Every structure is written in C-alpha cells, then in structure tokens.
Amino acid sequence: MTKICPRCFDDLPENANYCPHCGECVMEIVERTIQYIGSPPKTVEVSVKDSAISTEEFKKAR
C-alpha cells in the first residue's frame, strides 16, 4: 500500500518515519494519562500511530 505525507503529499517509502521531501514526522506516540484513587496521575506511552495517509484514504477524501 502506498502512503502519502500529510504535509506535502509526496510518496513515502514503505517503512518511513519521516518524509524524505519535507521532513515531516509521520509517526506519532500515543500517550494516555492514568490515575488511580489516592495516587498521582501518570502518563504512559500506549502505542505508536502512523499518521501517513494511505492512497485509498486520500482518494476517498477527494
């Protein structure tokens, strides 16, 4: 599946973390804050989200 940069719409390599054309990071860390009763809030890293646009999504949006 081909991916497109969300900033410059350039084609991305298969496993790109950054766009080679504009430098936009296409990987975002998803964090959540959890808090149990009687303890301070704690922010934890849950996963890494791919923010690149797949070509199917881009075609549907047009």
What is the rounded distance in angstroms from the CA atom of residue 40 to the CA atom of residue 16? 37
Q: What string of pLDDT tens digits covers the 62 residues of the chain?
A: 578 888 898 988 888 888 889 988 888 777 788 888 898 988 877 666 666 666 665 555 55
Single-letter residue type at 35: Q
26 contacts 19 by C-beta, under 8 angstroms: yes
pLDDT at 54: 66
Give the position of tokens 């998803």.
30
pTM exceeding 0.75: no
What is the rounded distance in angstroms from the CA atom of residue 62 to the CA atom of residue 46? 32
Going across the sheet that includes 11-12, the strands are 11-12, 3-4, 53-54
